[in-house]
Structure 1
Amino acid sequence: MRFVKLQSKDVVNVVDGCKVGFISDIEIDWCTRSIQAIVVEKYSFFKLFCFFKEAPCIIIPFECVVSIGGDVILVSIEP
């Protein structure tokens, strides 16, 4: 699967059922050639007003990814 397809998917927490955000980046370990973590940009209503401020991000270890589906990526993180 290409990274561009991952970016178009919503990230949902299975613990509380809330949307976390969307994938903005991934961390890769080149030695083991595996994904270490996904960087999720949080949903924010005020994102439109924050032109000069960086969007809040969450780094989720790849072990917390439960499933990657057609439209959604399910993760298990504590709120």
Structure 2
Amino acid sequence: MKEYSFSDLRTKRVINIIDGRELGHLCDIVFTCTGRIMYFVAPGKKSLFKSNAENIYIPWRNILKVGEDVILVELSQANPVMCQNADDIPPEL
């Protein structure tokens, strides 16, 4: 099993296999107090009418594959977790 640092992961594009949409590059990782990875965080798209974008929180179980240059995820259109800040993250999906 290959090991990756956050520096390695943040250079890879995140692709949603459901719709083929590129979500950008990782900007953060959310851990529990025991060190378990909960979410990868990708920046949301900024809109003309919003000054700040909502982050996309990708649950660990939705990460399908970490490849050489991409991270494949599976997020249904109805269930991307989008929050303004970490306080808004649901405890467990």
TM range (shorter): 0.7 to 0.9
Is 1:21 the equivalent of 2:24?
Answer: yes
Aligned length: 73
Contact 1:22 1:42 in 2 (8 A): no
Tell me the equivalent position of 1:4.
Answer: 7
| Structure number with higher relative contact order (C-alpha < 8 Å, ≥ 6 residues apart) | 1
What TM-score results when the alignment is normalised by the length of structure 2?
0.68
Aligned partner of 1:41: which letter? P
- Offset from partner CA, 1:32-62 (integer Å, 9 cap, x none): x32111111135586xxx8xx4333111110
CA distance in 2, matches of 1:44, 1:68: 26
Stretches of structure 2 that go unaligned for 5 or more consecutive residues are: 78-93
Which moved further from structure 2: 5-14 or 37-46?
A: 37-46
Distance 1:74 1:43 in 2: 18
Q: Which runs of 4+ in 1 moved over 4 A?
A: 43-46
Identity %: 30
Q: Which has the higher helix share?
A: 1
> 1:1-79 counterparts in 2 under 5 A?
1-31=4-34, 33-44=35-46, 53-79=51-77
Could you tell me which runs of 5 or more consecutive residues in structure 1 were left unpaired when the two chains were aligned. none
Which structure: greater strand fraction? 1
Cα RMSD (Å): 1.9
User: Normalising by the residue count of structure 1, what TM-score does the alignment of the two structures yield?
Assistant: 0.78
